[in-house]
């Protein structure tokens, strides 16, 4: 009898813990589902004679997702907190590169917490506002980056007639490893309204997530005088400064060049370094593609499994990191 009572108490405790932490225990118990995505036009900007912003808005923004993270604070003023960021799909299998703030949230000065649940909402291009569970892979605060992966199985139709079905995503971000010139056109893509959702305690309460596509130019390829360079894996990586409007909710979003290639991951607005942290107008920063590649390779080495991504280079053409190895 005593054993049965203990088992019952233990079962109730597990249910309570699952509910307390955003239902994560119960959600993890669910099996992945199959998701079928419509065919998307993949012609390049040059083929359609579009400008950079039009091309990215029509097609390449499909590689960018909104990332919804819920944190259980258990403080006097709130039991949970939900923040919306951005992320970039880097391969057909659905690995998502995003900011390390998703995995390690600073809810007050010097106090950090990990999320209980993380979801992704696909780009507006898909006309699909469902929330898909993301599973943690890795994060590194020094690099300012994190990697997640979709739990569900995604398939896309490779033709408009919906007769050819292919596993994985049709569109993902390709890394541009060529030098980026000051004055080159760029397009920033990320969640536009995350701050409006920040006070909600549960991801299911968020009903409005929408991407923003903004255009500008690369302002500087060495931001050292404005902000410190990123030192990671024994190398120094200067941040990219760009003029396309971006706010803190676009953290983890994509910075594309005029051809839709990924040149950086949006880090956010710069501040003046004062106690009030006033944002500088018309300038934002991005982590360069070279840093993204080094970070992914480092995680692959640690996990002893390759996290694939595609590199575009004038010297070597287009190749995946698996082919390079």
What is the per-residue pLDDT across 188-207, written as a single tens digit (0 to 9) for each?
999 877 543 444 445 555 55
What does pLDDT average to over the chain?
A: 79
Q: In percent, how much of the chain has pLDDT > 90?
A: 44
What confidence tier does 170 reach under pLDDT thresholds 50, 70, 90?
very high
Rounded to whole angstroms, the Cα distance separating 130 from 121 reads 6
pLDDT at position 177, please? 86
**Tens of pLDDT along 125-148?**
898 888 999 999 999 999 999 999
Q: Are 264 and 280 in contact (CB under 8 A)?
A: no
What confidence tier does 103 reach under pLDDT thresholds 50, 70, 90?
very high
Highest-pLDDT range among 84-88, 275-279, 280-284, 309-313? 84-88
Give the position of tokens 């190398």. Answer: 235
Region 78-104: mean pLDDT is 91
pLDDT at position 108, please? 78
Count of residues in the chain: 325
Select the more confidently predicted residue: 20 or 80.
80
**Tens of pLDDT along 24-74?**
433 445 789 999 999 987 776 556 656 778 888 888 999 999 999 988 876
Region 212-236: mean pLDDT is 79
Residue 16 inside a domain? The answer is: no
Per DSSP, the residues of 284-299 read EEEEEHHHHHHHHHHH
| Structural domain that includes position 225 | 32-324
Domain CATH code at residue 162: 2.40.10.120
pLDDT at position 225, please? 53
Residue 160 inside a domain? The answer is: yes
Select the more confidently predicted residue: 14 or 255.
255
pLDDT at position 234, please? 92
Residue 114 has pLDDT above 50, yes or no: yes
Give the position of tokens 């994190």. Answer: 146
319-323-325 Cα angle (round to 5): 125
Helix (H) or strand (E) holding 270, with range, is strand 262-271
Residue 7 inside a domain? The answer is: no
Residue 25 inside a domain? The answer is: no
Residue 107 has pLDDT above 50, yes or no: yes
What confidence tier does 23 reach under pLDDT thresholds 50, 70, 90?
very low
Residue 324 has pLDDT above 50, yes or no: no
Rounded to whole angstroms, the Cα distance separating 217 from 305 reads 36
Give the position of tokens 């390759």. Answer: 306
Lowest mean pLDDT among 11-20, 234-243, 261-270, 275-284: 11-20
List the one residue out of 35, 32, 83 whose CA is nearest residue 205.
Answer: 83
| 67 Cα distance to chain centroid | 6
pLDDT at position 72, please? 83
Lowest mean pLDDT among 176-190, 215-229, 270-284, 308-322: 270-284
Residue 23 inside a domain? The answer is: no
Count of domains observed in the chain:
1
Residue 22 inside a domain? The answer is: no
Residue 301 inside a domain? The answer is: yes
Residue 10 inside a domain? The answer is: no
pLDDT at position 128, please? 87
**Tens of pLDDT along 268-281?**
655 544 444 444 45
Which residues, in sequence order, are bridge partners of residue 215? 187
């Amino acid at each position: 009898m005593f054993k049965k009572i203990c088992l019952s108490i233990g079962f109730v405790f597990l249910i309570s813990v699952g509910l307390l932490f955003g239902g994560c225990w119960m959600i993890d118990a669910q099996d992945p589902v199959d998701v079928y995505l419509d065919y998307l036009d993949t012609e390049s900007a040059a083929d359609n004679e579009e400008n950079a912003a039009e091309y990215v808005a029509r097609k390449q923004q499909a590689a960018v997702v909104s990332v919804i993270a819920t944190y259980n604070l258990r403080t006097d003023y709130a039991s949970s907190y939900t923040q919306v960021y951005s992320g970039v799909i880097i391969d057909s299998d659905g690995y998502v590169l995003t900011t390390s703030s998703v995995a390690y949230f600073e809810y007050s000065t010097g106090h950090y917490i990990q999320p209980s649940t993380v979801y992704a909402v696909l780009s507006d291009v898909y006309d699909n506002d469902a929330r898909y569970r993301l599973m943690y892979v890795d994060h590194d605060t020094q690099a300012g980056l994190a990697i997640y992966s979709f739990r569900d199985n995604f398939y896309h139709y490779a033709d408009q007639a919906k007769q050819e079905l292919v596993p994985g995503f049709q569109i993902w971000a390709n890394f541009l490893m060529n030098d980026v010139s000051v004055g080159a056109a760029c397009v920033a893509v990320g969640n536009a309204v995350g701050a409006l959702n920040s006070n909600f305690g549960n991801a299911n309460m968020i009903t409005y997530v929408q991407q923003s596509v903004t255009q500008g130019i690369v302002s500087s390829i060495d931001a050292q005088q404005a902000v410190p360079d990123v030192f990671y894996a024994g190398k120094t990586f200067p941040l990219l400064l760009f003029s396309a409007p971006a706010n803190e909710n676009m953290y983890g979003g994509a910075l594309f060049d005029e051809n839709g290639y990924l040149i950086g991951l949006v880090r956010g607005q710069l501040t003046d370094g004062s106690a009030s942290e006033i944002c500088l107008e018309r300038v934002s920063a991005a982590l360069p593609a070279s840093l993204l590649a080094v970070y992914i390779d480092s995680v692959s080495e640690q996990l002893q499994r390759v996290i694939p991504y595609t590199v575009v280079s004038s010297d070597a053409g287009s190749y995946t990191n698996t082919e390079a190895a």
